[in-house]
C-alpha cells in the first residue's frame, strides 16, 4: 500500500519530521538509515545545544525531555581567545531564561521514539516504501542521495571533532565556555550533575593522539586542564572522563539540488556546518519545520510532490543554511588564524564587540531563533 511520505533516516531530524507531518494528517513511513555508521555499537556521546526555536518544535510533537535532569540550560557563554578577555553573552541581559539547552543525543532519540510509538500515522519500516514523496534524512554519508546522483559540494576544515563527557569538581554554573587556542577549538557545554559535554576541534593528527589515549583517560583530562595555560583546569577543578572519545571529520557541505522528482533532502543529507556555533541540529530541525509548513499550506489542488511546492522549501532553507554556514565559516577563519597581525586586530574587535550590548544581544537572538 502506498504511503504519503517515506522518510529515509530515523535520526533526530527524521523522527521529528515524521511526527510533524503526522500532525498534518499525512500517513508517514519512517525507514532506518543504512549508512556506514549505522552498525556502530559504541554509545553515542554527542550532546546538542538546542535553540529556543528547536525546543518549540520538539515540544509541539511532545518529544521534549520531561526529566529536568536531562536538560542543561545555558545561562551564559564565554568565548576565550588566548589571554584576551572573553566575549560574554548572558541570558539575563537578554531577558530570557536560557541562551540554549544542552540535551544528549540518546535522550532526544528516546523521547522521539516514545512519541512515535503512540502515533498511529507513523509506521516504522526496515525497507524503503512506495510513497508520493520521499524525504532523505540519512545524513551526509547516506547512500540514497548518492544513488540519485545529487552533487554534494564539500569543503574540509582540515579539522576533526573529538567528543566526550567529563565530570568536574567545580560547578559550571550553567555557563558554556569555548576556547580558541593554537588553532584548536574547545567547547565545554554544561549538562546536569556537574558534567560537561566536550567538543574538541583539532587537527586530524591531534585527534588520533586523543583517540589513542582512550585507555588512559587521565591523560586526556590532564591535557584538557592545561587549555588556556591552565585556566580551564582552574575553572573546572579536577576533571574525570565519563566516556571514551569519539571523532568525525569536519566539513562544510551542501547539496547543490535539494529537491527532485518526488524527493527532497533534509538535515545533514542536505547540509553540514562547523560545530563551533552549535547550529547543525538546529538547522536540521528548522528544515523539518519548514517542509511541514510548506506541505501543509500548499493549495489543495497541488500534490505534496509538486515541484513548485518543494522549491518553496528549497529556497527558504538554502538561504538560511547559507547565512548560518557562512557565519560559522567566517568565525572559524577569524579565530583560528595564527597570524600575529590578525590576532591583534581580533583582540581590538573583541574588546569593541563586548562593549556593544545591543549588537551582541542581536547576534545571540538570531542564533537562539
In a domain, 246, yes or no: no
In a domain, 332, yes or no: yes
Contact 93, 357 (CB under 8 A): yes
Mean pLDDT over 195-206 rounds to 94
The C-alpha cell that represents 32 in the structure block: 532506518
Mean pLDDT over 243-257 rounds to 88
Give pLDDT, residue 144.
85
- Residue 20 vs residue 144, higher pLDDT: 20
Confidence check: pLDDT of 179 > 70: yes
Mean pLDDT over 73-101 rounds to 82
Confidence check: pLDDT of 82 > 90: no
In a domain, 82, yes or no: no
| CATH code of the domain in which 359 resides | 3.50.50.60
Q: What radius of gyration, in Å, describes the C-alpha atoms of the chain? A: 21
Give pLDDT, residue 347.
57
In a domain, 337, yes or no: yes
In a domain, 167, yes or no: no
Tell me the average pLDDT of the chain: 85
Domain count, the chain: 1
pLDDT-derived band of residue 321, with 50, 70 and 90 as boundaries? confident
In a domain, 55, yes or no: no
DSSP for 15-64 reads HHHHHHHHHTT--EEEE----TTTT--SPP--EEEE-HHHHHHHHHTT-S
Q: What is the pTM of this model?
A: 0.87
pLDDT in tens, 348-362: 455 454 545 554 455
In a domain, 363, yes or no: yes
pLDDT in tens, 18-65: 999 999 999 999 998 655 444 455 778 899 999 999 999 999 999 999
Q: Which domain holds residue 14?
A: 3-45+108-154+252-368
How crowded is residue 283: how many other Cβ atoms within 10 Å of its Cβ?
23
Give 314's contacts (C-beta < 8 A, 6+ positions apart): 258, 259, 264
In a domain, 217, yes or no: no
Amino acid at each position: 500500500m502506498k504511503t504519503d511520505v517515506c522518510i529515509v533516516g530515523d535520526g533526530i531530524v527524521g523522527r521529528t519530521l515524521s511526527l510533524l507531518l503526522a500532525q498534518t494528517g499525512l500517513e508517514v513511513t519512517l525507514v532506518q538509515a543504512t549508512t556506514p555508521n549505522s552498525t556502530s555499537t559504541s554509545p553515542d556521546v554527542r550532546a546538542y545545544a538546542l535553540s529556543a526555536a528547536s525546543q518549540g518544535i520538539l515540544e509541539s510533537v511532545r518529544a521534549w525531555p520531561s526529566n529536568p535532569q536531562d536538560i542543561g540550560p545555558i545561562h551564559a557563554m564565554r568565548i576565550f581567545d588566548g589571554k584576551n578577555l572573553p566575549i560574554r553573552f548572558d541570558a539575563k541581559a537578554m531577558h530570557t531564561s536560557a541562551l540554549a539547552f544542552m540535551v544528549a543525543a540518546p535522550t532526544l532519540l528516546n523521547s522521539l521514539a516514545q512519541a512515535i510509538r503512540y502515533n498511529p500515522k507513523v509506521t516504522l519500516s526496515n525497507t524503503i516504501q512506495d510513497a508520493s514523496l520521499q524525504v532523505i534524512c540519512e545524513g551526509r554519508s547516506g547512500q540514497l542521495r548518492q544513488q540519485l546522483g545529487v552533487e554534494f559540494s564539500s569543503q574540509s576544515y582540515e579539522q576533526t571533532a573529538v567528543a566526550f563527557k567529563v565530570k568536574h569538581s567545580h560547578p559550571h554554573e550553567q555557563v558554556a565556555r569555548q576556547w580558541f587556542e593554537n588553532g584548536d577549538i574547545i567547547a565545554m557545554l554544561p549538562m546536569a550533575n556537574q558534567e560537561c559535554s566536550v567538543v574538541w576541534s583539532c587537527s586530524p593528527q591531534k585527534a588520533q593522539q586523543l583517540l589513542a589515549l582512550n585507555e588512559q583517560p587521565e591523560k586526556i583530562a590532564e591535557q584538557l586542564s592545561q587549555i588556556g595555560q591552565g585556566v580551564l583546569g582552574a575553572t573546572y577543578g579536577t576533571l574525570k572522563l565519563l566516556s571514551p572519545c569519539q571523532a568525525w571529520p569536519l566539513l562544510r557541505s551542501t547539496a547543490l539540488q535539494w529537491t527532485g522528482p518526488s524527493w527532497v533532502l533534509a538535515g545533514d543529507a542536505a547540509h553540514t556546518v562547523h560545530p563551533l556555533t552549535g547550529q547543525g541540529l538546529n538547522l536540521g530541525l528548522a528544515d523539518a519545520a519548514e517542509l511541514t509548513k510548506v506541505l501543509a499550506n500548499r493549495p489543495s489542488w497541488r500534490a505534496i510532490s509538486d515541484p513548485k511546492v518543494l522549491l518553496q522549501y528549497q529556497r527558504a532553507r538554502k538561504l538560511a543554511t547559507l547565512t548560518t554556514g557562512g557565519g560559522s565559516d567566517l568565525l572559524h577563519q577569524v579565530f583560528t588564524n595564527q597570524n600575529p597581525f590578525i590576532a591583534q586586530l581580533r583582540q581590538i574587535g573583541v574588546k569593541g564587540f563586548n562593549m556593544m550590548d545591543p549588537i551582541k544581544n542581536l547576534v545571540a537572538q538570531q542564533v537562539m531563533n
